[in-house]
Amino acid sequence: MTEKQSTENLYPPKILVIDDEKVIREGCHEVLTQEGYEAILAENGELGLKMIEEAHFDVILLDLMMPGLSGFDVLLNVKALHPDTSIIVITGYATIENSIEAMKNGAFDFIPKPFSPDQLRVVVSKAIEHTGALKDIANEKSRMRVLINLLANGVMVTDAEKKVVLANPAFMKIMGFKGDDIIGRPFTVLIKNEQLQQMIESALSMTEDVLTELTEELDIGEDGEDKKAIYVVKCRPFADRVDRNLGTITVLSDITYLKEINQRQSDFVSMVAHEIRSPMNSVMAQMKVVQDGLAGDVTQKQGEILGRASEKINGLVSLSTELLNMASKDQVDFHQPKAQAKGIQLKLEPFPDLPPVLANKQNMEEVLSNLIANAINYTPGKGKITVAAHPEKHHLCISVSDTGLGIAEEDLDRIFDRFYRVKNEKTRYIIGTGLGLPIVKSIVEAHDGIIWVESKLDLGSTFYVSIPFATS
């Protein structure tokens, strides 16, 4: 509002009066300038048109019946040159049909001669309001265009017919599109990535009762480029006032850098955990050799000292099992509200007394968090999820079981692949990236462990993670 007023104060509306009758021109001039408008006069069509070619007017008062170039010719030219100018045709009673014809050709309103100053004021102020609204829309559009073009994020909009309505330079760059104008062409000309195409297709096929946002992490890049970038892709349909799907908006944000930092951190942590395990085991083994007297006699005092040192090392190692137990509890607590919201019973079986494993707490939290989140996501309401741990010969085995959708046999091997997601009617609107399980697998393997799944379609799944005991 403030902005609009200030623009109006800065530039008073400019009105051109084209009429061959001097008395009309001068009458209009007086009324309009009194109203604070800038009024400019032209005595015939030719002169008027010349002025219109040179300047922009907010409103034109145009006499239809003039000798020479007719008002109709001027009208058509104005519409072509300045579609946002409002035209009011001035006409005599006898030519009412002409006024209607003028309206059909884009005139905003008409005012029959003779008219009073008040009639003129009313019709002009209506026209100014109309022009103002058109200007606001045009300004808003131009502001949006500049903003979208400046964004580092890729933005693309399609209509319901799958045609591109807008694509900013960042989006074109990400897609490696070097062709001509893409506007009005099918989005598949611009987007070659199949997963992204599928996302847009599913957003377009959403019906009014389920217009939701889809989010995925995809690696997208130019064909033939070795190093692809990872993007968070958000795609959502937009609707008209009666909720009909009008098209989609897709936004890409580059998260390659974050992924790299994350990966480096977890590689480092895994490496440290891994590197500590063997020397610790070796220290323990060597101390045992000394303690058992295999390296010569050990006095009672020396035995006690060695005993205390072993305890400390054991304590350090066993701390990790404690942490694992705590991590499981934390994760079950963390996911509890989401499970409850879906009517799912999420339970942690108490951990039995276990020999120590050496694991990184943060990593294990990530493993459990992913498995529990998946169990909740892929279990329709009223199910049950159990997190448990039990010892096996040389391993600690943690399991996360659910009574959810289950996984078909042909998908079982593939769900640990990057970006693989089971696609069917039931999983269609479950949002995910297909990156959870591959990350879980790489963490487990960095701890010398293994992960596997047992599942029956429609009955549920159990994911097992097995990590070796520290002293094995």
**Residues binding ligand ADP (CB under 6 A):** 370, 374-375, 378, 402, 404-405, 407, 415, 420-422, 427, 432-437, 461
> Shortest gap between Cβ of 462 and ligand ADP (angstroms)?
9
The amino acid at 133 = A
Q: How far apart are CA 171 and CA 151, in angstroms?
A: 10
Q: Quote the least distance from Cβ 212 to ligand ADP, whole Å.
A: 16
Closest distance to ligand ADP from the beta carbon of 197 (Å): 18
134 or 388: whose CB is closer to ligand ADP? 388
CB 133, min distance to ligand ADP, A: 46
**Distance of CA 130 to CAs 12, 42, 137, 199, Å?**
15, 23, 11, 40
Cβ 214 to ligand ADP shortest distance, Å:
12
As measured in angstroms, the least distance from the Cβ of 442 to ligand ADP is 12
Q: Output 261 or 408, the one with its CB closest to ligand ADP.
A: 408
Measured from the CB atom, the residue of 119 and 424 that comes closer to ligand ADP is 424
Closest CB to ligand ADP among residues 182, 389: 389
Of the pair 48, 449, the CB lying nearest ligand ADP is at 449
**Minimum separation from the CB atom of position 400 to ligand ADP (A):** 8
State the minimum distance, in angstroms, from the CB of residue 196 to ligand ADP.
16
The 3-state secondary structure of 224-246 reads CCCCCEEEEEEEEEEECCCCCEE
Distance CA 66, CA 302 (A): 121
> What is the rounded distance in angstroms from the CA atom of residue 178 to the CA atom of residue 259?
28
Residues 6+ apart with CB under 8 A from 259: 230
Give whole-number Cα distances, 221 to 14, 251, 261, in Å.
51, 15, 20
Give least dist CB 421 to ligand ADP, A: 3
**Based on CB atoms, which residue is closest to ligand ADP, 108 or 378?**
378
Nearer Cβ to ligand ADP, position 45 or 432? 432
Closer to ligand ADP by CB, 167 or 437: give it: 437
Q: Judge contact between 61 and 86, C-beta under 8 A.
A: no
Nearer CB in complex with ligand ADP: 99/401: 401
Spatial neighbors of 109 by CB under 8 A, at least 6 apart, are 86, 88, 89, 103, 123, 126, 127
